[in-house]
Chains A and B, each alone.
Chain A
Amino acid sequence: MPILKLENISKSFGAINALNDVSLSINPGEVLGLMGDNGAGKSTLIKIIAGNFKPTSGKLIFNEQAVEFAKPMDARNKGIEVVYQDLALCDNLTAASNIFLTREIKKNFGFFSIINFNKMYERSREIFRDLKSETLPEEQVKMMSGGQRQAVAIGRTKLSKAKVVLLDEPTAAISVRQVAEVLDLIKQLKNEGIAVVIISHRMPDVFAVSDKIAVLRRGQMVANKLAKDSSPEEVTALITGAIDTA
């Protein structure tokens, strides 16, 4: 049973058709690798799922119900979380403060309230334990490795009990050693039954974790198949247009 389904989604900006009749679906505990060259429509698609854009036509079906997102908050409230490439972390705050930013656990004293750091550290420690990451909740983010930073960003999505997590270029701009760490995080999300969409240019990373591969070219979905039935060579050919569809 798919948790998220896109039916015949099209999006145009004036005369430009960014997406043309795109359909795809993703099940709980499944990882979908979304691939395509720059300008192929990946970002537009992500932004439609995340509630930044409304599709020009087509339907979004979440948990078997047609949904319309007017703003990103609507998507978040449903359980769709996006981790952007720049991770949106504040370097000068601790891991726990970053995870809980705008959703702090508070102790109330009538007319004022203070942040309950102990509870936040405790909960963050659980989140990192679940993600099998060695990130310390009390540590400032600026001292952290790329993999740990990714863990903090993904930790945010765990706080809201996300059902679908979209990862935008999660392995770009980090070292090879840290890539393994991030891929482990993705497998962890999958094991917990979360549907994961990763957008990436790095073919080996995508094939290492994905169950399904979808390829966009000039706003068209040119492939949507099981990863084991495809190959990096085929996907490269699809992205560049050497093969028409597969």
Chain B
Amino acid sequence: MLKPRIKVSNLHEIGLLLALIIVLVIFSLTTENFFTQRNFLSILRSASYVGLIAFPMTFVLITREIDISVGPAVAWSGVFFAMLIKWYEFSYLNAAIIVLLWGLFTGYFIGIARTKLFIPTFITTLALWSALRGYSLFVTDGRPIALSNKPFRELYGGDFLNMPTVTWMMLLMFIFFWFCSRYTVMGTNIYAVGGNPKAARSIGINVDRIKIITLMITSFFSALVGILYVARVSSGNATTGEGMEFDVIAAVVVGGTALGGAVGTMTGTLMGVLFIAMISNGLIHWGVDPDLNKVVKGLIIFLAVVINSNITFKNNSGPKED
């Protein structure tokens, strides 16, 4: 009775895997230093910062919301963290706890604005995008707040068992989010909210609560990445994470998540993250100007959405009343 069927999501993931391999082969054959362990670790490192935020962002997009304040949120979290330690003499642990709580609070604020005041998350996070960057630059005067704690730098900004610590964290979080999305009631509810919010509400799912939680988790991870960047460069910088919201959202969308919600997988997002990181890295090896690099990334996200929406459209044109 069970018809074997290639699902839409699988089709997209298979395509993306092929694209990853093709890009890998092309860069490996055309440059000298791309196919090296050192370079791969470097790609993994940059992919990991993006990935840590991209996984919760996948949930946010599935529930038909968005958070575009990622870059400035990362910058402010780093500045805030460094500030608490350097200027107000907090311990590293206490400063981290405060910054992470701040992250949760920001997400809660975005969620409450969305669910109680009916302000689209795009607008609230656009406002935060401007405000957080501006305030970070204002309090630091544009200068880095330097920290000099070697163990902190080496553990969280460096390697652990021959792999960047942040990559370990990213992989761990991938497993966590993948598991949540597939096997938990929370995951099912997130998809239900994205699939049909009205139905989800009428059947007894607390739609507002689900949206607030996904937004809180995303902001939490933005704050965490802010701290991890401080560990990497030993200072809090108001200019960190410039354009990071683009990389995160691009990775999620390239990974097959629909901006309109309902559709998306964590494996897709992981591949999207690796894809974007690999392209950025490969183009540098090709000697492409960093500014043009952005142009290429823009083209890629556009093409990915064109391909994605066409696959989705063709597979969705089955029987459907509306």
Binding site for B on A (CB under 8 A): 73, 84, 86-93, 97, 101-102, 104, 106, 112-115, 136, 138, 140, 142-146, 149, 173-174
| Docked pose: A121 CA to B148 CA in angstroms | 57
* Docked-complex contact A89 and B319, CB < 8 angstroms: no
A117 to B205, CA, bound (A): 19
With both chains docked as a complex, state the minimum distance between the C-beta of B225 and any C-beta of chain A, in angstroms: 25
Q: Cβ of A138 and Cβ of B2 under 8 Å apart?
A: yes
A136 & B195 in contact (Cβ 8 Å cutoff)? no
User: Within the assembled complex, what's the spacing in Å between the Cα atoms of A45 and B320?
Assistant: 30
Cβ A142 vs Cβ B321 within 8 A? no
Known contacts A104-B185, A114-B184, A136-B2; A91 and B196 CB within 8 A of each other: yes
Residue contact B192 to A88, C-beta cutoff 8 Å: no
Q: Are B319 and A102 in contact (CB under 8 A)?
A: no
Cβ of A38 to closest chain B Cβ, rounded Å:
20
Contact yes or no, B192 A101, CB < 8 A: yes
Contact A142 B320 (CB under 8 A): yes
Q: How would you classify the secondary structure of chain A's contact residues: helix, strand, loop or mixed?
A: loop
Q: When chains A and B are docked, how far (Å) is the Cα of A140 from the Cα of B203? A: 18
Chain A proximity mask over B188-210: 1 for CB below 8 Å, otherwise 0? 10011011101110111100000
Complex Cα distance, B262 from A90, in Å, reads 9
**Max chain A C-beta neighbours (<10 A), residue from B188, B205, B262:** B188
Q: How far is the CB of B263 from chain A (nearest CB, A)?
A: 6
Q: When the two chains form their complex, are residues B319 and A143 in contact, meaning their CB atoms are under 8 A apart?
A: yes
B1 in the interface (beta carbon within 8 A): yes
Residue with the greatest number of chain B CB neighbours at <10 A, chosen from A73, A112, A114? A114
Which residues of chain B are near A91, meaning CB under 8 Å? 195-196, 262, 320
Q: Is there an interface contact between A145 and B319, defined as CB atoms closer than 8 Å?
A: yes
A89 touching B194 in the complex, CB below 8 Å, given contacts A115-B185, A146-B321: no
- Closest beta carbon of chain A to B107's beta carbon, Å: 22
CB within 8 Å of A: which of B204-248? Answer: 204-205
Most buried by A among B191, B319, B320: B319
